[in-house]
Amino acid sequence: MKEDNKAVILLSGGLDSTTCLSIAVKDNSSIYALSFDYGQRHKKELDCAKKVACYYNIEAHRIINLELFAGNALTDGNIAIPDYSSGNTIPSTYVPARNILFLSYALSYAETIVANRIYIGISSVDYSGYPDCRPDFVEAFQKVIDVGTKSGTEGDSIKILTPLLFMSKAETIKTAKASNAPLHLTTSCYHGKEKACGLCDSCVLRLKGFKEAGFIDTIEYE
């Protein structure tokens, strides 16, 4: 039987957040998803998020318009999206404070509807090197919740759950497949076209993950 938990989840419409949702639906009695329209080129992911939310018949799915700022490859059409690079630098697709903003919204929403958990499908293994996907970031944000919210200071802190944090992309895909998560409804490509490019960071990590996991990725590639 499911625990009587109410959870907010950040749902991008990608592979990771969809797998995260497949885990969350098992452990929570009601789920409220948030997606963001922040001027990203790959707006296609919002349609994917809607389909995934419908697939799981969750309690609610809200798409928030987020005024963000230009200057990065994911929101500025004048900056090229780089192909995959195995370097250690943070790529130009980094959106300043994106996950911090997303988590802040999720937190505000969770506290408003009296949810006790926030799920975010970040991973620090096969990732693009963004600082806001790492364990010490999650720990620091949890501390903000503990000391900076009403529920936190009243001893009933909302918890951030990151079930994929230490999973490789292949492990994530195996987890998704084991629970029949609808990966065919997801998108990962930064370009956001009808067919995925297969060359950007996000596509390369996805394809590598499917190969290692021994599954076929059924979305279309150029």
> Is 166 one of the binding residues for a second copy (CB under 8 A)?
no
User: Considering only 99-107, 186-194, 196-204, 205-213, which stretch makes contact with a second copy by CB under 8 A?
Assistant: 99-107
CA triple 219-183-174, angle to 5 deg: 115
**Burial grade of 14 (CB within 10 A; 0-12, 13-18, 19 or more):** buried
Q: Which is nearer to a second copy, 87 or 216 (CB)?
A: 87
Give dist(CA 163, CA 9) in Å, integer.
Answer: 12
> Is 201 one of the binding residues for a second copy (CB under 8 A)?
no
Among 2, 26, 43, 143, binds a second copy (CB under 8 A): 143
User: Considering only 46-54, 77-85, 110-118, 171-179, which stretch makes contact with a second copy by CB under 8 A?
Assistant: 110-118
Q: Taking the CB of residue 71, how many other CB atoms lie within 10 A of it?
A: 12
Give dist(CA 191, CA 44) in Å, integer.
Answer: 9
**Placement of tokens 């329209």 in the chain:** 37
Residue 57's closest CA among 34, 20, 35, 30? 30
Among 78, 86, 88, 112, binds a second copy (CB under 8 A): 112
CB of 56 to a second copy, least distance (A): 22
> Is 67 one of the binding residues for a second copy (CB under 8 A)?
yes
User: Which residues here bind a second copy, judged by CB under 8 A?
Assistant: 64-65, 67-72, 90, 94-101, 104-105, 107-113, 131-132, 134, 136-137, 140-141, 143-144, 146-150, 152-154
